[in-house]
Amino acid sequence: MFIPQSYALAVFLCVITMLCWGSWANTQKLATKEWPFQLFYWDYAIGIVLMSLIFGLTLGSFGTEGRSFIKDLAQTNTSSYLSAFVGGIVFNFANILIVAAINIAGMAIAFPIGIGLALVIGVITNYIATPIGDPVLLFTGVALVTLAILFDAVAYRRLTDSEQKTPVRGIVLSILGGIAMGFFYRFVAASMSLDFANPEPGKFTPYSATFVFAIGILLSNFIWNTIAMYKPFSGKPVTFKAYFTIGTPRLHIIGLLGGAIWSIGNSFSFIASEQAGFAISYGLGQGATMVAAAWGVFIWKEFANAPKGTNRLIAMMFISFIAGLLLIILARLN
């Protein structure tokens, strides 16, 4: 299977993760103009599974190092299966909350608050489990990301005050989703061997772990997304029948594409984790917050009607995020 041989390559893969995780929600913005996000989310979950399977059958099966995808699935013990699967359940619960928050509050808000919190919690939990990297640089970087979250929250409050909207629901969903999102990565990481070339018996390699994780997402969708359909956070209830009667091939493809984009980022994050360490790999990937906020600010114009002075807060958010991410990268080099 394909295994990165250097920290530089691992960082490059994490940058791709950042771009993918920060960009997939654009497909949601496109699709939910025409149908509810809950219906989009079914295709999104299917797209995650399909792309993780493609990765497993290609990059996860070529070469001589490690175990091939199918052999790895066959030899892994029940504990590792359960850990990766639970990671999918936890992620899906968190992500549906954040997707709902995007639908209510926009990308420039839901991502910095929700995913920013997930970054902080995820880096801490993964570093405690596998302490790789300079803790001073790593957690200073995390602190700067937290500061960026605060800048964004203040900017959003100014925006909603000027438009006389109540931001509470979108912010609460973002916070709850971010807290839950901070723990999914640890479940999947715990199921994986720390040595990809000579993997521990009974443990997953990254390709098989991400596939089982994806199955956890899809199957838990019948619980979490069904609840969101019939008891929505906003808008009217949605039925399963609507998925087939309203959905067009174009809408289904958009949803599948969104899931595939996110899954590419997820696979690269775990593939990079041997060289980078789980805390740094996860932390860099969650720089997606900055990418998503950029989409929301510059492409979707979510702050176009914000009062004077808001742009300064947005600029400080980006500066804090960039500085924080640079320190997270340097934490492994020091």
- What pLDDT, on a 0 to 100 scale, did the predictor assign at position 334? 64
Tell me which DSSP letter residue 77 carries. Answer: -
Rounded Cα distance, 175 and 166, in Å: 16
Q: Does residue 186 surpass a pLDDT of 90?
A: yes
Q: How confident is the model at residue 259 (pLDDT cuts 50, 70, 90)?
A: very high
Which of 43, 72, 68 has the alpha carbon at shortest distance from 57?
68
Task: Report the range of poorest mean pLDDT among 58-72, 100-114, 190-204, 300-314.
Answer: 100-114
Task: Report the range of poorest mean pLDDT among 130-139, 141-150, 241-250.
Answer: 141-150
Q: Which residue has the tokens 């302490």?
A: 131
Rounded Cα distance, 27 and 32, in Å: 8
- What pLDDT, on a 0 to 100 scale, did the predictor assign at position 235? 82
DSSP 254-304: HHHHHHHHHHHHHHHHHHHHHHH-HHHHHHHHTTHHHHHHHIIIIIS-TTT
Which of 62, 10, 18, 12 has the alpha carbon at shortest distance from 261?
18
- What pLDDT, on a 0 to 100 scale, did the predictor assign at position 167? 58
pTM over 0.85: yes
Q: How confident is the model at residue 163 (pLDDT cuts 50, 70, 90)?
A: low
Q: Does residue 166 surpass a pLDDT of 60?
A: no
The answer to whether 201 touches 11, Cβ cutoff 8 Å, is no
Condensed to tens digits (0 to 9), the pLDDT of residues 272-306 reads 999 999 999 998 888 887 787 788 788 878 777 78
Q: How confident is the model at residue 165 (pLDDT cuts 50, 70, 90)?
A: low
Q: Sort 312 into a burial class: Cβ within 10 Å, 0-12 / 13-18 / 19+.
A: exposed
Q: Does residue 148 surpass a pLDDT of 90?
A: no
The answer to whether 106 touches 302, Cβ cutoff 8 Å, is yes
* Three-state DSSP class for residue 120: helix
Q: Above pLDDT 70, what percent of the chain? A: 96
The answer to whether 87 touches 145, Cβ cutoff 8 Å, is no
The answer to whether 25 touches 111, Cβ cutoff 8 Å, is yes
